[in-house]
Structure 1
């Protein structure tokens, strides 16, 4: 009986989330900026997955999210200096989908009287696709390395400042940049395989143009 109820609930989810628009993508692609501007322009609610990471970590158990709790137990060097970018990629909890169900829970609790734009790198294509009642309600922003470097330099506060709390910030920053590059490549492959919309973001794309492309992809 429980299995049938879970299957029925899974079938209902796309309809219940029909008003949700998803913006995923690589680090430094402009997801937050685009989501904020589109939410304001079209009168939608905004849900930023980065903002709820601490809350979601506190709502999980080691059994539910083993990679997350292993990460939480590491010191800063163990996280960012002593491991290779490849290991960092494969064991990073959010990249493996841990806690994604909590995003869905939060969205289901929100009123459905108007659209919601949800954004963040945690929106993995393979997890979002089964939730889409409208295929065009999701897009992934894929930054080129040059664009991400330019975005990092343009920020007023030092980007990824937590690397400064390691014993070797330069190595930590290189590891993080390589991990994020590989993650973006993985997103590109996964979106292509699943035939999901993407927008390639490079240094020639203005903020206005990027917002316009995402709005067009959403059919807004």
Structure 2
């Protein structure tokens, strides 16, 4: 089983996905944490110039290969989780703060930091979700526990029998 959790920086993807993995005995896979490995693999395949930034190569085949190699149930999370990558079935969800909420969360994480590029990511993800049947959970004002509960409700039957 593969569960997909997408959304922009500051949405709570990593925290909620880690808690979900711990609670239900799933493997946690962070797309963001594998970015360098994916860049190196793309460069080795001639799809990317190493060191030139994140690139625009398709990471989906590498992510799927990584996840299939795990041979157990996985929760995959990251800002690169798109409807095109994950589909919009019952095993996918996007956590979306408003821009204002995202800025508050990012400022709390990194006071005084530059957050403009991360706001651009919010706009990109919002654009990817428009016109799809993707399941979006608006996280404004939610605690981690409330967001986790909403994700558990979304994945419902898929989680039954997976753990506690």
- TM-score normalised by L of structure 2: 0.83
Contact 1:136 1:217 in 2 (8 A): yes
Name the counterpart of 1:37. 19
Contact 1:97 1:124 in 2 (8 A): no
Name the counterpart of 1:207. 144
Query: What SS is found at the alignment partner of 2:90?
Result: helix
Question: How far did 1:62 drift?
Answer: 7.9
Q: Which runs of 5+ in 2 are unaligned?
A: 160-164
Alignment CA distance shift 1:216-1:100 (3 Å)? same
RMSD, aligned α-carbons: 2.5
From 156, 173, 188, give the equivalent of 2:129.
188
- TM-score normalised by L of structure 1: 0.63
Contact 2:14 2:30 in 1 (8 A): yes
Name the counterpart of 1:120. 78
Partners of 2:138 and 2:57 in 1: CA distance = 23
Question: How far did 1:146 drift?
Answer: 1.9
Q: How many residues align?
A: 157
Query: What SS is found at the alignment partner of 2:84?
Result: helix
1:131-159 Cα deviation digits (max 9, x unpaired): x7xx211101112112211211222xx37
Question: How far did 1:198 drift?
Answer: 1.1
Name the counterpart of 2:162. none
Partners of 1:160 and 1:98 in 2: CA distance = 33
